[in-house]
Amino acid sequence: MSQRSNVRVMTKKSLVVKDNRLIEACYRLDLSEQRLVLLAIVQAREAKLKITADTWLEVSVKDYNAMYDLSNTTGYKLLQTAAASLFNRYVKVNLVDEKTGKDSYLSTRWVSACHYVEDASVVRMQIAPLMIPYISNLESKFTSYQLKNVAQMTSAYAIRLFELMMQYRAIGERYITIDELKEFLGATGEGYARVDNFKNKVVVPAIAQINKYTELEVSFENRKAGRNVIGYDFRVSVKPIEKPYLPAKKTKSSASKSSPNAQGLANLERAMLRDLQEKHPDLTEKDVLQMAKDQEKDVVIIMHEISINGLA
């Protein structure tokens, strides 16, 4: 019997999780299609749904409108159009061929079936079989972020660039060639052939939305070979969390000498910890902070290593 996701998304704090190979794959989805796919991923995760080739994922117009702050009429039209066009979209993933050990490219559709039920105002879709491991079986490297980070974005390029930057938020910098970035973002049309057009029409507006709507602060510089710009050096940092003002209280002098770890985890880090606790229920915030202190590493890196290697 096929499975169906009927869980309503009640909050924009829900996590989107994608395999890093999928994030670095080459594909082009417009804004409505991106939003539909991300919301379907979130609902499947919140429902703890095991996705198979027979699983029907369901997204309603009501949930779509609520998540992206759209009117009923606008959301209805956008979701209907996205359902019709998503079936024709494909993704190209860079892999190592198991038989030969050589680099290879896997091309597959996003969905094997997608249809809009007009009277019920819902979209139902089945993820293409070859795409399922990149969305559901996240046993190695992954990137997670809260859907609220991209819910207000109006550029599909901004969403894709945000995902690429999130992979390196703990490292703080990333170099991407212009040709690679065009492929990642799906901005390969003639209108972006000139470097200055690509920069001004795609990169600069995308970074502006990332800096405005997300917890990341991103900047970049041109990297040149001679006089030609060949790529961009991105700088990535996480914005400090604004703390509410609290009146000063008189405390004992010893109480003021708290360790840096006493501050605890940031919101995004707590979300990552909750994901880890599904496999390691005994892992606590205190454990993560202590490991970060002992190993002198960022807590995000510590949790990333746990997700790959488990607990020693």
Q: What local confidence, expressed as pLDDT, does residue 202 receive? A: 94
Residue pair 173/234 in contact by the 8 Å Cβ criterion: yes
Q: What local confidence, expressed as pLDDT, does residue 224 receive? A: 93
Whether the pLDDT of residue 73 is over 90: the answer is no
Cα 243 versus chain centre, distance: 25
Tell me the angle at which helices 61-68 and 72-86 cross, rounded to the nearest 10 degrees. Answer: 110
Do 235 and 165 fall into the same domain? yes
d(CA 202, CA 218): 14
Do 124 and 175 fall into the same domain? no
Q: Kindly state whether residue 127 falls inside one of the protein's structural domains.
A: yes
Mean pLDDT check: name the lowest of 3-12, 263-272, 301-310: 3-12
* Residue-number span of the structural domain to which 184 is assigned: 153-239
**Residue 33 belongs to domain with CATH number:** 1.10.10.10
**pTM value > 0.75:** no
Output the average pLDDT for the chain.
79
Structure confidence at residue 141 as a pLDDT band (50, 70, 90): very low
Mean per-residue pLDDT, 143-154: 77
**Higher model confidence: residue 136 or residue 194?**
194
Mean per-residue pLDDT, 48-68: 89
Residue pair 127/135 in contact by the 8 Å Cβ criterion: yes
pLDDT tens-digit map of 177-220: 999 999 889 888 888 889 999 999 999 999 999 999 888 999 99
Do 231 and 303 fall into the same domain? no
Mean per-residue pLDDT, 125-138: 78
Give the count of domains, the chain.
3
Q: Kindly state whether residue 222 falls inside one of the protein's structural domains.
A: yes
Q: What local confidence, expressed as pLDDT, does residue 140 receive? A: 40
Structure tokens at 210: 């990332």
d(CA 236, CA 173): 6
The strand pairing partners of 231, in sequence order, are 177, 223
Mean per-residue pLDDT, 71-79: 86
Q: What local confidence, expressed as pLDDT, does residue 267 receive? A: 57
Structure confidence at residue 42 as a pLDDT band (50, 70, 90): confident
Q: Kindly state whether residue 256 falls inside one of the protein's structural domains.
A: no
Structure confidence at residue 11 as a pLDDT band (50, 70, 90): low
pLDDT tens-digit map of 265-302: 665 567 677 777 878 888 888 888 888 788 777 676 77
pLDDT tens-digit map of 159-169: 989 988 988 88
Q: Kindly state whether residue 246 falls inside one of the protein's structural domains.
A: no
Q: Kindly state whether residue 248 falls inside one of the protein's structural domains.
A: no
Question: Could you give the 3-state DSSP secondary structure of residue 4?
Answer: strand
Q: Kindly state whether residue 164 falls inside one of the protein's structural domains.
A: yes
Whether the pLDDT of residue 6 is over 60: the answer is no
Whether the pLDDT of residue 246 is over 90: the answer is no
